[in-house]
Amino acid sequence: MSFDTTWFRCPNCLSALSSIDPLVIGCENGHRFDVARQGTVTLLPPRAPRTVGDDHEMLTARAALLDSALYRPIAEAIADLTSDALPPAGSEQAGPRLVDFGCGTGYYAALLASRIAASSVLLADRSPVAVRMATRNIPGASGVVLDIWRPLPLRDAAADLALNVFAPRNPEEYARVVRPGGILVVVVPRQRHLAELRRDGSVLSVPADKERTVADSLGAAGFEVAARCRVEYEATVTAEQRTHLISMGPSAHHARDTTTDAVSAEVSSDVPAATRPVTVSVDVLAFRR
DSSP per-residue string spanning 21-88: ETTEEE-TTS-EEEB-TTSEEE-PPTT--S---S-HHHHHHHHHHHHTTTTHHHHHHHHHHHHHHSPP
- CB burial class (10 A; 0-12, 13-18, 19+) of residue 193? buried
- Separate counts of helices (H) and strands (E) for the chain: 10, 11
pLDDT at 66: 96
The Cα–Cα gap between 60 and 244 comes to 9
Domain of 88, in residue numbers = 5-288
CATH of the domain at 149: 3.40.50.150
Q: Which residues touch 201 (CB under 8 Å, ≥6 apart)?
A: 258, 259
pLDDT at 90: 62
pLDDT at 224: 96
Q: Which residues of the chain have pLDDT under 70?
A: 1, 89-92, 250-275
In the chain, the number of structural domains is 1
pLDDT at 209: 84
The Cα–Cα gap between 27 and 240 comes to 48
The Cα–Cα gap between 234 and 246 comes to 17
The pTM of this model reads 0.90
pLDDT at 275: 67
Q: Which residues touch 234 (CB under 8 Å, ≥6 apart)?
A: 277, 278, 279, 280
> CA gyration radius for the chain?
19
Determine phi and psi for 13, rounding to 5 degrees.
Answer: -120, -5
pLDDT at 93: 72
